Amino acid sequence: MAQRGGIVQSHLRYANRPLHSNLVRKGTADLILALEPMEALRYLPYLAPTGAVVANTTPVVNIPDYPAEDDILDEIRKQPIHRLIDAGALAKEAGALQATNMVLLGAGCPFLDLPEDALIEAVRDLFAGKGPSVVEANVRAFHLGLEAVRAS
C-alpha cells in the first residue's frame, strides 16, 4: 500500500498488565520503526519524548510532490533518539531483500524492553516453515540491523 501512495501503519503494544486498547496514543510511542523515511516523519506525533525513531533511509518516491530527501532526514535527525540505516542494503547483504523488515526489527531491538534472544527465537519460529535458508537469512538480517545501530 505505501509503495502506491497509501498509508500503512501497525500499532504494537505490550505490557505486564491488561491493555484496554491496541492503539498507541499520540505522544506515547516508545519506538517508531519505518520502512521508509516519509513514513517515519508522518508518525512522529506518536513518539514519546523519550522514544526512538529507527528508519530506513531509502525513500519510496511515489507521489509527484514528494519532499526533498534531505529535508525529511533532517527532520528525523531532530529527534533526540534516532537511527537512520540503509535497511535494504543490509537485507541484501543478509541474502534476502525481503528481510528489510527484519533489519529494522534488529535495529529497533536496543530500544525495546524485550530480550534479544526472545526476538531472535520469534524470528526463527515465524520463518520455520519456509526452510532453513530463509530462517537464517532473516536472522542474519536481524543481526545486521542490530549491529548497524550499535555501531552508530
**Do 56 and 90 share a domain, yes or no?**
no
CA 9 distance to own-chain centroid: 11
Q: How many CA atoms lie within 13 A of 148 on its CB side?
A: 29
Q: How many CA atoms lie within 13 A of 52 on its CB side?
A: 17
Q: Which domain holds residue 17?
A: 1-85
111, pLDDT greater than 60:
yes
Q: Do 54 and 103 contact (CB within 8 A), yes or no?
A: no
114 vs 12 pLDDT, higher one: 114
**Do 27 and 50 share a domain, yes or no?**
yes
Strand ranges, E, within 60-122: 82-85
Strand ranges, E, within the chain: 29-34, 47-56, 82-85
Output the pTM of the full model. Answer: 0.89
**Do 36 and 111 share a domain, yes or no?**
no
9 vs 85 pLDDT, higher one: 85
* Residue among 40, 31, 48, 57 nearest 110 (CA): 31
Number of folded domains that form the chain: 2
Of the three residues 46, 67, 85, the one that is the final residue of a domain is: 85
Of the three residues 85, 101, 136, the one that is the final residue of a domain is: 85
Of the three residues 85, 105, 136, the one that is the final residue of a domain is: 85
